[in-house]
Structure 1
Amino acid sequence: MMGDDGAPGDYNEMSMCLRTYTIGGEVLVAVCDSELLGQRFTEKELQLEVSVSFFGQELASAAMLEMALEEATIANFVGERAVAWAIAFEYVDRENVLRIDGVPCAQMVRM
């Protein structure tokens, strides 16, 4: 899914759901691939629920994600595109990506 320039896809494609929370001094960004919304994934003792209540329903592009991440102190990424962009923007290292039932997920905390 990498583009000719090495990017994980179309920078302006509205293919992810993005929600931002501000809690005290923390800014949490939750982003998932839009087609995963409402699904649950289980592998052994691990469970991942991609809920509308957490990720929201606002469609976003990688451009919008990049702007949101500039302010983020915490971020959750779920899905091939969301995680690929997190890696491309250097918020997540590839070796720190977890897969639950084949679905990539990662977290970022800025200290």
Structure 2
Amino acid sequence: MLGKTLKHGNTTVDINRAFYEGELVSEEELEKALEEATTANLFGEKTIRCAIKCRLIDPDSVIVIDCVPHAQVFRV
């Protein structure tokens, strides 16, 4: 998905390597990172599934852009 441009109507989202690329982690490591995050910009089925499992996001808050699930998290 890295480097891909997602399109939905007049909206485009670039999954920019410079911003999103990083270390591959296990689901357990992702869960820990998500629990500690104050903001998150999430794309992809595995990531969204993990965030739902952690109760970080509600399944109803997930949108789909160009067949890719997406959610954002902001904690204050």
More strand by share: 1
How many residues in Structure 1 have an aligned counterpart in Structure 2? 76
Identity %: 38
Indicate whether 1:91 and 2:56 are aligned: yes
- Could you tell me how far 1:43 is from its partner in structure 2? 1.0
**Structure 1: segments with no counterpart, 5+ residues:** 1-35
Of the candidates 6, 21, 24, which is equivalent to residue 56 of structure 1?
21
SS at match of 2:41: strand
C-alpha separation between the residues in 2 aligned to 1:82 and 1:70? 13
- Could you tell me how far 1:70 is from its partner in structure 2? 2.5
More helix by share: 2
**Structure 2: segments with no counterpart, 5+ residues:** none
- Could you tell me how far 1:82 is from its partner in structure 2? 0.7
TM-score, with normalisation over the residues of structure 2? Answer: 0.90
- Could you list the structure 1 runs, at least 4 aligned residues long, displaced by more than 3 angstroms after superposition: none
TM-score, with normalisation over the residues of structure 1? Answer: 0.64
Q: CA RMSD in A?
A: 1.1
